[in-house]
């Protein structure tokens, strides 16, 4: 992310009107320090919490989290692309968080995927759980002269 992208992303968050947690890592800006304008800090006072690190899994599990937004990466729920503009960031947040059809559909799909993941990882017969059980069995088993069975 460039310094310009950081500022645009910041103002998109500020302008959306929602409370937010923003984790700004030290290495976020390419070749520079991640510095936010003082006006941004004043504009978001009382509804923004800035941190340099957080336990991502705990944050994402929290019931008050409405969206996970990032400028890049496979771990994101939403991509804003390479051309970061404050209007686009603000629009995407309002789209997902608002009561419109797009936001409702995105939340419905997210819950559907969550349920699929829970079934796969926690319920007997779920593929991820079954694969984990096979892996643990193979780890605990004495060495064999022949290869162990492939994971499903």
CATH number at residue 9: 3.40.50.2000
Indicate whether 151 belongs to any domain.
no
Question: Are 55 and 77 part of one and the same domain?
Answer: yes
pTM over cut 0.75: no
DSSP state of 23: E
Residue 110's domain comprises: 103-140
Number of domains in the chain: 2
Secondary structure class of 50 (helix, strand, coil): strand
From first to last of its 152 residues, the chain has per-residue pLDDT tens of 788 888 999 999 999 999 999 988 888 887 788 889 999 999 999 999 999 888 888 888 888 888 777 655 434 434 545 678 999 989 988 988 887 898 889 889 988 988 988 888 888 878 888 888 889 998 998 876 666 666 55
Query: Does residue 145 belong to any structural domain of this protein?
Result: no
**Per the domain annotation, does 147 fall within a domain?**
no
* Judgement on whether residues 127 and 83 belong to the same structural domain of the protein: no
**93 and 116 inside one domain:** no
Tell which residue, 98, 48, 53, 89, has the closest CA to residue 71. 89
Asked if residue 119 and residue 50 are part of one domain, the reply reads no
HSE (side-chain half, CA atoms, 13 Å) at 146: 2
Q: Which run of H or E residues covers position 39?
A: helix 38-43
Domain contains 18: yes
Residue 150 lies in a domain: no
Return d(Cα 127, Cα 152) in angstroms, integer: 8
Residue 52 within any structural domain of the chain: yes
């Amino acid at each position: 992310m460039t310094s310009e992208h950081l500022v645009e992303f910041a103002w998109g968050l500020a302008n959306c009107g929602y409370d937010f947690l923003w984790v700004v890592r030290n290495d976020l800006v390419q070749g520079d320090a991640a510095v936010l304008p003082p006006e941004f800090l004043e504009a978001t006072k009382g509804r923004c919490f800035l941190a340099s690190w957080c336990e991502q899994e705990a944050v994402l599990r929290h019931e008050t989290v409405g969206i996970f937004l990032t400028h890049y990466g496979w771990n994101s729920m939403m991509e804003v692309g390479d051309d970061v503009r404050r209007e686009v960031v603000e629009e995407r947040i309002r789209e997902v968080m608002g009561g419109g059809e797009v936001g409702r559909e995105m939340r419905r799909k997210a819950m559907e995927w969550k349920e699929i993941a829970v079934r796969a990882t926690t319920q007997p017969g779920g593929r991820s759980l079954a694969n984990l059980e096979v892996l643990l069995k193979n780890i605990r088993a004495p060495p064999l002269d022949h290869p162990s069975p492939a994971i499903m």
